[in-house]
Amino acid sequence: MADRTNVRYDAIVVGSGHNGLIAAAYLAKSGKKVLVLERRGVIGGATVTEEPWPGYRISTCSYVCQLLLPEVIRDLDLVRHGYDVRPLDPQYFIPFPDGRYMISYLDGEKTAEQIAKFSRKDAAAYDAYWAMWDRVIARMRPLLDRPAPAQEDIERAFDGPEGEEDWRTLTKKSVAGVLDEYFESGELKAVLCVGGVIGTNAGPRTPGTAYVKYHHIMGKVGGYQGAWGFVRGGMGAVSGAIASSARGAGVEILTHAEVTEIDIGDGAARGVRLLDGRSFEADVVLSGADPYRTYLGMVGEKHLPGDLVEGVKGMRVEGSVVKVLLALGELPDFEALPGKGIGPQHTGGIVINPSVDSLQGAWEECERGKPSTKPFMDGYIQSATEEGLAPPGKHTMSLFCQYAPYTLAEGTWEERREEIGRNIVNTLGEYAPNLPGAVEGMEVLGPPDIEARIGITGGNIFHGEILPDGIFAGRPVPGYGGYRTPVENLYLCGAGTWPGGAVFGAPGRNCAMEVLATARAGPRTV
C-alpha cells in the first residue's frame, strides 16, 4: 500500500454518504484539494445499490427519492453524471383487509376519485389539506439552504396569525391529529399517517409527528409536490452521480479507509488517523458520519465541552426500522387487485397499514421492546419498472417496515432476525397469499444490522430523530446546532445536522458553504 501520509489536503471528508460526497464536490469546485475517506468497500452510505444475490440489484437502505435539493442537482450537474429520477405513477397502491383498495396517482383528479370510494367528503377536503401543507412548505423552503434557522428567521417565516397556526401545526400536532381535522375516512387516514412516523420512534398520535410528515412531502419529483421517484439503477446511482461529479472536480475517494481518530492539536482539527495506521493532514475536517460516532468515537470526550458530551449521549439514536430485501420468483398476487402480470399494484409503493390504530399499536409494542406483531410496511418492486435489476422473469422487492427495537426485550437480533423477517413477509402474505411461496432470497436488516453495515449509530435512518425538538438549531444537540463544532476546523456535514436526514443533500451543501465562507473570512479573530 502506498504511503500517502505526507500528502496534505485542504479538506478531508469522513464518510462517502451522499452528504459527504456533496460537501466534497462543492469544496473541490471551489478549488480545494479534497480527500473522502470511506470505511466500506463501496461508496454511498445509506444511498447504495448492492447485489445480495447474483443478478439481483437492489437499494439496500434508501429506496425512493424526493428530497434531493434541486440546487445540488443543478450545481453538481448530476443529470450529466447519470442521475435519472422518475416519479412513480401510481404513487401508492394500498390494499385493505376487507378486500378494498386505494390507489394514489400523480393526477389529483384520479386520486380524488379513489378517495371518493371511501368518502366523498374527504375527496372534497383533499385540496384544503394540501393547501395547508403547500403553505407550510413555502414558509420553510427559504430556511433549508442555509445554516440552522435562528428564532428570528422562524418568526419571519411564520409571521401573522395564520403563520402562527401553521407553526403550531408543524411543531406541536401529531400527524393523526392533523388528519382528524380534515378527514373522516379511516382508510384515508391510514394511508396518510404513515409519512408521519417514517424512520421515527413515535406513533401517529405522538405530538410533533406532523413535522415528520412535512419532512416527507417537502420535495418534488418531476414537478409534483410530495411525489417519490425511482432512480434508474437504484439509489446507488445517486451516490454514483455525485461521486462522478466530485471526481471530475478533482476529489479523491478512498474506500476501505476507516477513520478511527480525528487528530486534534491546540483545540483544532488537523487531520485524521485510520484503522490501518495511515494518517492524513488537512486544513479542515468534515464528518459525514453521525454526530454520536463523530464526537464520541473519532474526537473523544476530552476534546469536547461537558454539556456537548452530555447532549450527544442523550441523543435518541436507536432506530426501529427493519429493511427486508427479497428476491421473488413471481410478483405478489393481491386479493384486492389480482394478477401476477405487471400492473399498477406493482409499479409504485405498496403500503400495508390498515388503520391509524394499528400503526399506533405497532409502535406501542415496540416501545415495550417487542417487534410489531402487525408491522406497517412500504414495499417497492423496482424491477417491475426497469430492466436489468433482476434475472428475466424474477423480481426484487424492498420492504421498509416498522417497528422493531434496536434492543429486544426478549432474545437477540442474531436469534430473532429470521423470525422477524418471516413475520413481515407473512403479514404481506395476508394481502397477497402467493408471496411467502414466491420468496427465493431474503435478507433482513434490523437496526443493529444497519448500524454494522452502514455505520450509522443505533441504525437510526436519519442519524437522530427528526421530531421538532431534534431539528432546527437543536440539531444535533441544543446549544451546538449547525455544521461548525467547538473544535476549530472540524465540521459536521451529515444527516445529523440541519435540516436532517433522507437523501436530501442540504446538510452536505450547507456545510460546504459554511466552510468556504469561513475560509474567505480568514482566521477567526477572538
By CB under 6 A, name the binding residues for ligand FAD. 14-20, 37-40, 45-47, 61-65, 67, 258-259, 288-289, 293, 321, 323, 400, 450, 454-456, 461-462, 494-495, 501-503
CB nearer to ligand FAD: pick between 178 and 272 = 272
Instruction: Tell me how far apart the alpha carbons of residues 193 and 475 are, in angstroms, rounded to a whole number.
Output: 24
CB of 181 to ligand FAD, least distance (A): 27
CB of 324 to ligand FAD, least distance (A): 10
Instruction: Tell me how far apart the alpha carbons of residues 150 and 288 are, in angstroms, rounded to a whole number.
Output: 23
Closest CA to 27 of 302, 328, 250: 250
DSSP string, 255-310: SS--EEEEEEETTEEEEEEETTS-EEEEEEEEE-S-HHIIIIIII-GGGS-HHHHH
Q: How many CA atoms lie within 13 A of 371 on its CB side?
A: 24
Instruction: Tell me how far apart the alpha carbons of residues 24 and 511 are, in angstroms, rounded to a whole number.
Output: 10
CB of 37 to ligand FAD, least distance (A): 5
Instruction: Tell me how far apart the alpha carbons of residues 492 and 287 are, in angstroms, rounded to a whole number.
Output: 5
CB nearer to ligand FAD: pick between 323 and 346 = 323
Q: CB neighbours of 220 closer than 8 A, spacing ≥ 6?
A: 66, 70, 226, 227
CB nearer to ligand FAD: pick between 19 and 171 = 19
CB of 454 to ligand FAD, least distance (A): 5
CB of 428 to ligand FAD, least distance (A): 17
Task: Give the three-state DSSP class for 123.
Answer: helix
CB of 53 to ligand FAD, least distance (A): 18
- Cell numbers for 410: 426478549
CB nearer to ligand FAD: pick between 62 and 320 = 62
Instruction: Tell me how far apart the alpha carbons of residues 351 and 215 are, in angstroms, rounded to a whole number.
Output: 18
CB nearer to ligand FAD: pick between 45 and 470 = 45
CB nearer to ligand FAD: pick between 46 and 337 = 46
Instruction: Tell me how far apart the alpha carbons of residues 250 and 256 are, in angstroms, rounded to a whole number.
Output: 20
CB nearer to ligand FAD: pick between 208 and 455 = 455
Please, what is the end-to-end C-alpha distance for the chain in angstroms?
A: 43
CB of 40 to ligand FAD, least distance (A): 5
CB of 521 to ligand FAD, least distance (A): 26
CB of 46 to ligand FAD, least distance (A): 3
* Burial of residue 80, with CB atoms counted within 10 A of its CB: 0-12 exposed, 13-18 middle, 19 or more buried: exposed
CB nearer to ligand FAD: pick between 115 and 243 = 243
CB nearer to ligand FAD: pick between 356 and 454 = 454
CB atoms within 10 A of CB 310: 11
Distance of CA 393 to the CA centre of its chain: 30
Task: Give the three-state DSSP class for 112.
Answer: helix
